[in-house]
Structure formats: C-alpha cells, structure tokens
Amino acid sequence: MTSVLVIDDHPIVLQGCRRLLEDAGVERILEAGTALSGYRLFRREKPDVVIVDLALQGNGLSGLPLVRRLRRQSARTPILVFSMHGDPIIASRALEAGANGYVLKDTTSGALIEAFERVRRGQPYMSHDLAMQVAMLGTSKTAPLADITLRELQTLSLLADGRDYTQIAAELGISYKTVANTCSQLRTKLGASTLPELVRRAIQYVATAPTGRTGRQ
C-alpha cells in the first residue's frame, strides 16, 4: 500500500492533490497544513512519499528548512517539492536541502503525476526548462540570487510578503538585530541602497504568486 504525505496550507491544493493521487491509484493520503504538523505526521506515519510546498502559512520559504529536517529524519524517503516559485535559485536550494524533485503549481495535472511517479521510483524530476536554468547556475555568476544564503533567501521572501523586521524575527526565531544585519547584507548583495528598494527587489525575485486550483487540464 503506497502512502503519501501532502504538506500544504491551501485547502484547495490539498483537495486537488488528493483527487489526482487517488486517480493515480494511491491508497493512503495524509494531509498537513503546517510545517510542524507535517513533520510530526512524517515521523509517526513514515509515508512512502512526501509532497511539500515551500511557502507554508505565508511564512516565506519555511518549506526549505522542513525539507532539510525531513531529509535528516530519513535519507531515503522521496520528497517532491510542489511550489509557485519558478526561480532556478530556489529550485536549486530545494534540491540541496534534500528534495528529489521540483514541480511548479502552474503545471498540468499530468506533469504533477509524472513527477510523483518519478520520485516514487527513486528518480529525480524537474521540468526540462527549469532543469536547464538550474544547470546554468553553475556556469554563471550573474543570477541575482546566486550568492545568497538560505537564511537570506527566507528573509527576502518574508520581505516580499510584507513582513517588517519584528515579524521576520518572530517567524524565523531569530533576533531583530540578526534580521537587520541580514537585510544589510542583502542590500549589498542585491545592490539596493535603501530598505524600500530591497523590498522591491524581493517582490521582483521571490514574491509568491497567487495559488490556483489544482485539477485536470
């Protein structure tokens, strides 16, 4: 019996994934709407495959640390990231964190199932176009986000979501001073002279697009 854990905070996405997976013959589907509940379900139920969003609870890219925790807990469980973020830097970071595949939420239903079947068989998955962009990162230093750290990427995503320093500190579990220092480093790396300019860059690079309905296309 194949079991799949879907971690996403959008009920419509969960409903759509459940329908597609059931049509694909998956017998047991577990659902979680937060990183914490997803991690606890993962430890307790030991699913065969995990599908996880990167932008959980509007908390920036909180799915990246979750992928890393899941991978530390199990070195072999296939993890498929299902995300609105099409930036190759973010996809690359997800793979570095331990994901086996990366598929965009605006893809077709068939592509999602193909991605699921590939990672379930222990094979990697990424769309050809995105895979080419990720591959090019190794030969180009001009990508805007090429040199930023995971913490900086999370902070940038929260800035794009409209969070202030105090909110970012609370959501990432770090100090206000650390957030301020991180944003100072981001301004230098991204060539933003002011905080409003950094926020505009954040929106340009990593803002999460509205989530649509997952269904047959």
- The residues of the chain that CATH labels 3.40.50.2300 are 3-137
- The residues of the chain that CATH labels 1.10.10.10 are 150-206
Quick one: pLDDT at residue 215?
41
Mean pLDDT highest for which of 18-22, 127-131, 190-194, 196-200? 18-22
CATH superfamily of 3-137: Response regulator (3.40.50.2300)
Quick one: pLDDT at residue 209?
41
Q: Is residue 18 over pLDDT 70? A: yes
Identify any residues that bridge with 5 across adjacent strands, giving them in sequence order.
Answer: 30, 50
Quick one: pLDDT at residue 212?
38
Count of Cβ atoms closer than 10 Å to residue 129 Cβ: 11
Q: What Å distances lie between residue 194 and 152, 182, 190, CA to CA?
A: 16, 14, 11
pTM for this model (two decimals): 0.71
Q: Which fold has domain 150-206?
A: Arc Repressor Mutant, subunit A (1.10.10)
